[in-house]
Amino acid sequence: MSTTPAGDPGVPSPGWTGADIPDLGGRTFIVTGGNSGLGFETCRALAGRGARVVLAARDPEKGRAAVERIQAEHPDALVEARVLDLADLDSVEVFAAGIQQVDVLINNAGVMMPPRTTSAQGYELQFAVNHLGHFALTARLLDVLVAGADPRVVTVTSFLHHRGRIHFDDLHGEHKYSRSGYYTQSKLANVVFGLELHRRLRLAGTELTSVLAHPGYSATNLQSSGPSGVMKLALKVTTRFAAQDAAMGALPQLYAAVSQDVEGGQLIGPNGRKEQKGYPTVVQPLEAARDRELAKRLWDTSEELTGLDFGLAAR
């Protein structure tokens, strides 16, 4: 594990928890995949500190149920559910058109290791949801975000991005598909995107900040909803004995979203062994994720596949 020693600028204090979240009254957060797991815990924590939270969920009934759970705990919570299917770029467009104000976008939703499936636009599902959907959402909300207060984009990845590579010669697994290989591709794409977005925003002179976060090994429905067969059974066993709960797993993205110590371009993850468990700290991404040629190729490819132009020069 690579971390920056506690006490250095921009490094979370040991043991940072939801109790350290400041008052968020007057601020608006969007959390994708907010109806369960890390997303739900993130929405719950933000709403409990006074934020207005837009809980984005693919299933409207599950979204409404999640809002009811939060409001049962925090009766005055300003939280609303809106439909967003990141596997359909048309849904992303409709969702974004309904957003007039947002300060922080948390790109949290994801799918993990399903059988090969394609999105509404025909793209491999993990790449489509985990990367392209969030790329498109960020692009469509960019102008609204720039106008926000202490605006941030938090993109959630995985420590498994260290095993990833971008299969530009077979981006959608049409010739050779591996569930884990295309999951790690999507998680590496998250990191490359977050770092490149940070660089381009700085070049543009905007106050919008791009930060990355990963939850370590956390128990969520990802391990059961995507994998099948032997893989699903193996993940069930390891999750039971090795994973931390979703509330702990959400801390890195909460820290990235609200802490005044966070810096653009950082990756926040757990401080435990191999970044699998623990409290938020600054960790290091795969060095290859900083490669400028890789970043430009992925950015250009993503703009082509989504039909969107961020308007941010690479220079």
Give backbone dihedrals phi and psi of 218, rounded to 5 degrees, phi first: -120, 145
Tokens encoding 48: 């409990």
Rounded CA separation 33/222 (Å): 11
Is 183 catalytic? The answer is yes
Q: Residue 111: name the closest of 179, 173, 54, 62 by CA.
A: 179
Neighbouring-strand partners of residue 209 = 152
Q: How many CB atoms lie within 10 A of CB 223?
A: 22
Rounded CA separation 35/33 (Å): 6
Instruction: Please name the helix (run of DSSP H) or strand (run of DSSP E) that holds residue 162, with its range, or none.
Output: none
Rounded CA separation 90/84 (Å): 10
Tokens encoding 68: 């009811």
Rounded CA separation 250/45 (Å): 9
Rounded CA separation 268/259 (Å): 11
Rounded CA separation 178/6 (Å): 38
Q: Residue 212: name the closest of 174, 269, 167 by CA.
A: 269
Tokens encoding 17: 């928890």
Instruction: Please name the helix (run of DSSP H) or strand (run of DSSP E) that holds residue 304, with its range, or none.
Output: helix 292-306
Q: Which of 183, 217, 255, 279 is catalytic?
A: 183
Cα torsion angle, 1, 109, 130, 315, sign: negative
Residue labelled with tokens 């605006």: 151
Residues with a catalytic annotation lie at: 183
